[in-house]
Amino acid sequence: MILFPAIDIYEGKAVRLYGGDYSKVTVYGEPAEIARRFEDAGAEWVHIVDLNGAESSGTNFDKISQIASGTRLKIQTGGGVRSAQRAKELLDSGATRVVFGTVCVTEPEMVEEALARYGTEAVVCGLDARDGLVAVRGWKERSALTPEELGKRLTRAGVRYFLYTDVSRDGKLTGVDIDGTATLTKALGADVIASGGVKDLSDLERLKERGVYGAILGKAYYENKIDLKEALRICTI
Instruction: Tell me what the mean pLDDT of segment 215-223 comes to.
Output: 95
**Residue with more model confidence, 105 or 130:** 105
Note the pLDDT of residue 55.
Answer: 81
Note the pLDDT of residue 13.
Answer: 96
Q: Which residues contact 51 (CB under 8 A, 6 or more apart)?
A: 8, 9, 10, 15, 17, 22, 60, 79, 138
Boundaries of every domain in the chain:
2-236
Instruction: Tell me what the mean pLDDT of segment 131-158 comes to.
Output: 87
**CA angle centred on 104, ends 106 and 130, rounded to 5°:** 90
Find the catalytic residue in 8, 166, 177, 203.
8
**Is residue 53 a contact partner of residue 33, using CB atoms and an 8 Å limit?**
no
Instruction: Tell me what the mean pLDDT of segment 121-126 comes to.
Output: 97
Q: What is the pLDDT of residues 166-216, one digit of tens each?
A: 887 877 788 999 999 999 999 999 999 999 889 999 999 999 999 999 999
- How far apart CA 12 and CA 72 sit, in angstroms, is 21
- How far apart CA 237 and CA 234 sit, in angstroms, is 6
Categorise residue 70: left if φ over 0, alpha if ψ from -120 to 50, beta otherwise.
alpha
- What are φ and ψ of residue 88, in 5° steps? -60, -45
Q: Which CATH class is domain 2-236?
A: alpha beta
- This prediction's pTM: 0.93
Report the percentage of the chain scoring pLDDT > 90: 74
Instruction: Tell me what the mean pLDDT of segment 87-104 comes to.
Output: 93
Q: Using alpha carbons, select from 64, 62, 157, 63 the residue that is nearest to residue 107.
A: 157
128 is catalytic: yes
Report the percentage of the chain scoring pLDDT > 70: 99
Quick check: 105 pLDDT over 90?
A: yes
40 is catalytic: no
